[in-house]
A and B are shown apart, each in its own frame.
Chain A
């Protein structure tokens, strides 16, 4: 297993946001985490990158315990790339600078800036046109591309995508799904947090459903459509 999350509890202030949560991701696997708003998807992802400390439980990566490592070490040495739900592109930096941060900061054997640019332009040719634009002036969809490309520039083994398809027009969603498949071809494992069940089932090879901070389903994405109660919980009605 590449990533193993074992029975983690996560508290924010007095609120417990994750309860005894376990999940794992294998090498070359694309996994989706689906759940309604407030279910705990973002909290799970932030715990994996290390932005939320876990109260109990353990997270291992490539067999190594990373539970106590700070986020910057997980990003540069462990090999976890993170694209947050609101993109969080650095507004004053150009697209190029946003993306090159990862190349500069990464601690594994480096890919040249040129090769990295090529890899990224292969996945998101749209970025070529806005390469010198400041983050502030990018559209929502462009910001998503920049955010994913920025995470890729760290050359991660695991890519965490929080709400990668949110707010995108249906055709653009298709375009992003294609990009996700291309990223997978690079040998990168992917965890996608998604609130739309249909999209989740479409991109995920394996699916976890989360509700109230607990995993309520793990397995074949297509099978969730056979369980109406489960489906209702995920959709939130």
Chain B
């Protein structure tokens, strides 16, 4: 019995990270209508920076709960800063061009970031386990489960709630949704679309960075992690529907559960199962479960 509880928790854990990845991708797509191929590498950047801070400064420098707050926040801020530079310089000149150019430029950024990781952090994975192991384990029946995973699961739900609140209950969120529904009309109503693009891009990127900052002490920061994450976020996006926050939430839960079932019972075809489900959804409902 307890093994199934652990399966469920693992599914939630995976769903939480996937949600954070897809939520950012969706905000950017929703407002800017750009699929940010560099998104996975912004997540990786958050992971690298967090690990680098912990390794360089030493985890001892952050007493108590600060260990779980300061390093990831530094990671998030670096990612935010990167996004703040990237949007006006690299993306903005492409808005008037055809969509393929926008896709290409984000692909270019993906490659540049990957090379920068290699250049700055070297070819070997960065690993810092202390924050993960310090939290200990909980007993579930006669099995044990790392407490850190509960933290990551909670993070996913907290960000989901915060995003829902931001988008539906605040003036900023309502303005953002109006702009994603009809950009031209929003501009004529007084929305500075140019700066809203920057803000949305930075918010989306920072959520990805946050996911990276929290996952890195559980896994490692390693070359290629961004692309792997991007591919999975795409599956969630396809299942949930482009630009839909509800879709990101439900899609992440579905993919999290499927992935867990895959790893537990059909490890050889784990990824194939995900693609198969994505293909089925695309066939039955091409716009995804919650897409329009």
Distance between A14 CB and nearest chain B CB, rounded to angstroms? 16
Contacts of A51 in B (CB 8 A): 184, 187-188
Contact A72 B192 (CB under 8 A): yes
Interface-side segment among B65-73, B143-151, B175-183, B280-288: B175-183
Contact A90 B171 (CB under 8 A): no
Chain B stretch 177-229: residues in CB contact (< 8 A) with chain A? 177-178, 181-182, 184-193
Per-residue contact bits, chain A 83-119, to B (CB 8 Å; 1 contact, 0 not): 0100010111100011011101111000000000000
A61 sits at the interface (CB 8 A): no
Distance between A31 CB and nearest chain B CB, rounded to angstroms? 19
Residue of A nearest to B185 (CB): A88
Chain A, interface size: which category?
A: 20 to 34
Q: Which of A49, A93, A98, A105 contacts B191 (CB 8 A)?
A: A105
Q: How many chain-B residues does the 8 Å CB contact rule pick out?
A: 17
B135 sits at the interface (CB 8 A): no
Contact B182 A76 (CB under 8 A): no
Distance between A224 CB and nearest chain B CB, rounded to angstroms? 30
A154 sits at the interface (CB 8 A): yes
Contacts of B272 in A (CB 8 A): none
Contacts of B182 in A (CB 8 A): 88, 90
Contact A101 B174 (CB under 8 A): yes
CA distance A157 to B185 in the complex (A): 19
Residue of B nearest to A88 (CB): B185
A140 sits at the interface (CB 8 A): no
Known: A72-B190, A102-B190. A97 touches B185 (CB 8 A): no
CA distance A49 to B186 in the complex (A): 12
Contact B175 A70 (CB under 8 A): no
Contact B178 A101 (CB under 8 A): yes
Contact B185 A72 (CB under 8 A): no
Contact B189 A75 (CB under 8 A): yes
Contacts of A88 in B (CB 8 A): 182, 185
A71 sits at the interface (CB 8 A): yes
Known: A101-B174, A104-B171, A104-B175. A92 touches B189 (CB 8 A): no
Distance between B172 CB and nearest chain A CB, rounded to angstroms? 9
Measured CB to CB, the residues of A under 8 A from B are 49-51, 70-72, 75-76, 82, 84, 88, 90-93, 97-98, 100-102, 104-107, 150-151, 154
Q: 7 tightest A-B contacts by CB?
A: A105-B190, A76-B190, A75-B190, A88-B185, A71-B187, A82-B188, A90-B178
Identify 29 residue pairs between A and B in the complex whose beta-carbon atoms are under 8 Å apart, listed by A's number.
Answer: A49-B188, A50-B188, A51-B188, A70-B192, A71-B187, A72-B190, A76-B190, A84-B188, A88-B185, A90-B185, A90-B186, A91-B181, A92-B177, A92-B181, A93-B174, A93-B178, A93-B181, A97-B174, A98-B178, A100-B171, A100-B174, A101-B175, A101-B189, A102-B189, A102-B190, A105-B175, A105-B189, A106-B190, A150-B189
